[in-house]
Amino acid sequence: MTRAIWFIIKVAIVVAIAVWLANHPGTLAINWQGYVVETGIGIAILIGVAALAAGIVLYRLARAILGAPRNYGRYRRSRRRERGYQALTRGMVAVAAGDATTARKMARKADGLLNEPPLTMLLSAQAAQLQGDDRAAKEYFTAMLDRPETAFLGLRGLLTQSLKAGDRVEALQLARRAQSLQPNTPWLLGTLYDLEARSGEWAAAEGTLQQAVQAGAINPDDGRRHRATLLLERSFEAERRGRSDSALSHAQAAHDLLSGFVPAAARAARLQMAIGKHKNAAKTIERCWRVNPHPDLTSAYREVVSSYDPMTRVKLFEKLRNHAPNDVESLLAVARAALDAQLWGEARAHLTKALEMRPSRRVFQLLAELERAERQDEEAARAWLAQAANAPADAAWTCSACNAVSPSWGGLCGHCGAFDSLEWKTPTVSMSLMSPESAPAAITHQVTEPVTGQPGVAPGGQIAPQGAT
């Protein structure tokens, strides 16, 4: 519509000029070197316009002819780039599809066509990795470290490689270098935290853990549990260094953080006992018992009340039981104290009730002990022990990463080196118990198995929250 209006306006202007010229006639004369040209003014203007148009056409033609070689070069370069990016795209698709041969072919093609080393180097490295050529991949990743725009990707590639190879010392160095470039990358924080914890760098791991939780790499509940575990390991470390005050304050902090965390309560209670604070120790255990009645707490409580006579001990265990009266662990704890005090009737009553609630090896074993102690009935004892042998395995500290069973709790699995992986549960795969010496509470640097967590997955996030502890 607008165009039509413009056209009409233009036509009107031309017509107006033509009319004006018709109304104002005149002639134009050129006298040059003896030649005389004389024409009407209308014709002269027409010739002038035609000459201008011809000039423009000629100028454009000349420019096209002179600029042809340069334009052709530009066209070829753009074609090259287009083909290069096509190769790059196809290479990436091949990597995603796991087609190593095509990926490598396309990587070479893209490298030849494009002058974009950051992009083609990454593809080349991934293609080499896909073909199982770790040496070539490492060279590409290392070359990427020289450019600021690819350094982080190079470090990520090298980190993945060293994790796969089980080289945790190198992996930790690389992860720290990568973190200095991109401090808030969630997967990196999760990996770094796991590596620091597995290396026994408890204080550093605690700082990284906090950042990992803030970045969303580890959920807050798991984070709290991991932190309690780190605090307990710091408590063990302080004790080894003769710092008993720090040992207690770290254990106390772990217990305050998670009152239902059995290892923290048991350790804090033992350390409180060591400085003569028996009442505080009993309170610590009772507080945890309310949330999580557990055999390790029974053992710790037995130490707390060991200075009393057997009858008083039974009374104190009855008091502990009141914090979780309907739990089978409460019944077993009182039954054990009653057996020690030779209160056979009370022991039998509690064991019978425990047997109704949840038959287990421990119940059968205690019943066998009762038959022997009270009635010297070896036959009945053997019958209970036979049942114990056939009963399903009792819960134990079991590694959620490798299923190894540990006789006592520790921050690191003595078998696979995973951090905070021990859960109180019935082992799913029957595995021989590790000897106590092979499952230290902390530091197992000689672990041979690789870290299972890969960048992209926070290793801390893989550890299942613990129900039983």
Q: Which residues bind Zn ion (CB under 5 A)?
A: 399, 401-402, 404, 413, 415-416, 418
| Minimal distance, residue 424 CB to Zn ion, in Å | 15
| Minimal distance, residue 235 CB to Zn ion, in Å | 22
Helices (H) and strands (E) in the chain, counts: 20, 5
| Minimal distance, residue 251 CB to Zn ion, in Å | 23
Indicate the residue among 369 and 420 with the shorter CB distance to Zn ion: 420
Alpha helices in 98-116, H assignment, sequence order: 100-113
| Cα–Cα distance, 356 to 373 (Å, whole number) | 22
| Minimal distance, residue 304 CB to Zn ion, in Å | 31
Report whether 128 contacts 138 (CB < 8 A): no
Contacts of residue 65, defined as CB under 8 A and 6 or more positions apart, other chains included, come to none
Indicate the residue among 124 and 398 with the shorter CB distance to Zn ion: 398
| Minimal distance, residue 313 CB to Zn ion, in Å | 36
| Cα–Cα distance, 414 to 438 (Å, whole number) | 6
Residue type, 212: A
Class of residue 268 by CB neighbours under 10 A (exposed 0-12, middle 13-18, buried 19+)? buried
| Minimal distance, residue 399 CB to Zn ion, in Å | 3
Intra-chain end-to-end CA distance of the chain, in Å: 80
Indicate the residue among 144 and 418 with the shorter CB distance to Zn ion: 418
Report whether 320 contacts 330 (CB < 8 A): yes
Indicate the residue among 119 and 447 with the shorter CB distance to Zn ion: 447
Indicate the residue among 230 and 401 with the shorter CB distance to Zn ion: 401
| Cα–Cα distance, 437 to 444 (Å, whole number) | 11
3 state SS of 142? helix
Indicate the residue among 112 and 465 with the shorter CB distance to Zn ion: 465
Indicate the residue among 102 and 462 with the shorter CB distance to Zn ion: 462
Residue type, 456: G
| Minimal distance, residue 361 CB to Zn ion, in Å | 23
